Amino acid sequence: MEKYVNELLNFIESSVSVYHNIHLIKAILKNFNYIELEENKKWNLEPNKSYFVVRGGASIITFKVPATQEGFMIVASHNDSPSFKVKPNGELNSGSYKKLNTEPYGGMLISTWFDKPLGIAGRVFVKTKEGVDTRLVNLSGHNVVIPSLAAHLKGNNLELNLQNDLLPVVGLTNESNSFMNQLKKVSIFSEDEEILSHDLFLYNKEKGCVAGFDNELIISPKLDDLECVFASLEAFLEARPESNISVCAIFDNEEVGSGSNHGAASTFLTDVLERICDELNLNKYVMYQNSMLVSADNAHAVHPAHPEKSDPTNNVHLNKGIVIKYHSSLSYTTDGISAGIFKAICDKAEVSYQDYTNRSDLRGGSTLGRIQLEKLSIKALDIGLAQLAMHSSNEVAGSKDLKDMVKALKEFYQTKIILENSNIIIK
Ligand SMILES: [Zn+2]
């Protein structure tokens, strides 16, 4: 198997919700002796140490402080994926079925969620003697299912209704096992506790695998964007920067516009960068001039049945290298300067790259980079890896691209960018 692919598939399998993903990343960082910082306490940062900070239990920023600090090299990605969120008071009896009342989270390919074993995971908030406690839960022992209407009953044009057609069946009404009882079993530890609220989501329980006669493909849930989360974290851990503070930022809520208090539209990243500058007595204006942000989020490869959906000259392919994304209206942050710098970095790392634009008559998605630039004025570009079936419950990517992404981002973290008049010096 290609380098890192097995680790990526295990990483995705363990990330049953964004909260579990953060729990996993924290464990990895702690294993490497990273120091956890809390936003409501004073920080005492020192050179040659590494840190991380979590906001909202769902987004994380980790950074390394080298002996000298001349700029920030930042990679941002997102850990959420389209899914269904369980509503409060979610249990719903309907005829002989016990169902869960859910609503879509993000824009998924709905048909791909039918007729497969789904899990429920996330976090619950429990009233305890001291106050409110957060507990991660995964009802892993219980599959639920959204059954499709049989071909014979459907006719040709049944339009799916989000409230009626997409609620998972969790059992039959004559069974005594209620959803809340299941939830209590895994989250309540003593009799005087009670569940106050929850953030619970459905997830596809199928584990990712490699595919293709030469194992050149990966099929897995959540490749958008856990593939870039994994690659940026791996590159960040492997990199040995000498004079830049390397930052790996992973945000929740990208799929619903990033508008939470810990999403990319919040002040989380700027707050952390400013606190680092304050703590280490660095001039933030000078630091920002020597900094760069890479927004890493997957891109659409040419589809085998629909090549006409891709741009005629800037179409991208699986296993052909890192995708650099451009958009004249700045949905992507890349410009000539940032693309030039990143291509020079890829050349240094001996990694191939390909240019991507949307067709002019198709609107593509926006990304984290654009949202960050509204608050942070630094050089930026949007990249990703080519994939198919974006927002399906199982997505498809190339198995050779992952190691190239790790290699390029590692080189990026170790690079020093200096502006001298109109020249950009890359070391
Ligand atoms: Zn994405």
For residues 15 and 128, membership in a common domain is answered with: no
Whether residue 215 lies inside any domain: the answer is: no
Whether residue 133 lies inside any domain: the answer is: yes
Overall domain count for the chain:
2
pLDDT at 402: 97
For residues 322 and 296, membership in a common domain is answered with: yes
Token reading at 16: 């049953």
Whether residue 211 lies inside any domain: the answer is: no
pLDDT at 155: 67
For residues 123 and 272, membership in a common domain is answered with: no
For residues 66 and 97, membership in a common domain is answered with: no
Whether residue 212 lies inside any domain: the answer is: no
pLDDT at 156: 66
Alpha carbon of 87 to ligand 1 centroid (Å): 24
pLDDT at 135: 96
Strands (E), 269-374: 292-296, 299-300, 322-326, 353-357
C-alpha–C-alpha distance, residues 387 and 398, integer Å: 7
Residues 102/90, Cβ–Cβ less than 8 Å: yes
Alpha carbon of 18 to ligand 1 centroid (Å): 14
Main-chain phi, psi angles of 197, to 5 degrees? -165, 170
C-alpha–C-alpha distance, residues 353 and 394, integer Å: 25
Which residues have C-beta within 8 Å of that of residue 304, sequence separation ≥ 6? 388
Alpha carbon of 165 to ligand 1 centroid (Å): 26
- Per-state percent for the chain, helix, strand, coil, to nearest 5: 25, 30, 40
Alpha carbon of 213 to ligand 1 centroid (Å): 28
Which residues have C-beta within 8 Å of that of residue 158, sequence separation ≥ 6? 149
Main-chain phi, psi angles of 284, to 5 degrees? -65, -30
Alpha carbon of 188 to ligand 1 centroid (Å): 34
For residues 272 and 379, membership in a common domain is answered with: yes
Output the domain CATH number for residue 105: 2.30.250.10
Alpha carbon of 298 to ligand 1 centroid (Å): 6
Alpha carbon of 224 to ligand 1 centroid (Å): 5
For residues 77 and 103, membership in a common domain is answered with: no
Main-chain phi, psi angles of 118, to 5 degrees? -115, 150
For residues 37 and 99, membership in a common domain is answered with: no
Show which of 179, 204, 229 is a domain's final residue: 204
C-alpha–C-alpha distance, residues 369 and 380, integer Å: 7
For residues 273 and 421, membership in a common domain is answered with: yes
Alpha carbon of 126 to ligand 1 centroid (Å): 32
Alpha carbon of 304 to ligand 1 centroid (Å): 21
C-alpha–C-alpha distance, residues 400 and 92, integer Å: 45
* Residue closest to 60 by CA, chosen among 36, 42, 82: 36
Q: Which domain holds residue 133?
A: 83-204
Residue 50 burial (C-beta neighbours within 10 Å; 0-12, 13-18, 19+): middle
Alpha carbon of 142 to ligand 1 centroid (Å): 28
Instruction: Give counts: helices (H), strands (E), the chain.
Output: 10, 22
For residues 301 and 367, membership in a common domain is answered with: yes
Output the domain CATH number for residue 249: 3.40.630.10
Main-chain phi, psi angles of 161, to 5 degrees? -105, 125
pTM for the model stands at 0.96
For residues 228 and 346, membership in a common domain is answered with: yes
Alpha carbon of 78 to ligand 1 centroid (Å): 7
Alpha carbon of 118 to ligand 1 centroid (Å): 21
Regions of the chain short of the pLDDT cut 50? none
Alpha carbon of 170 to ligand 1 centroid (Å): 29
Alpha carbon of 365 to ligand 1 centroid (Å): 9
Alpha carbon of 226 to ligand 1 centroid (Å): 9
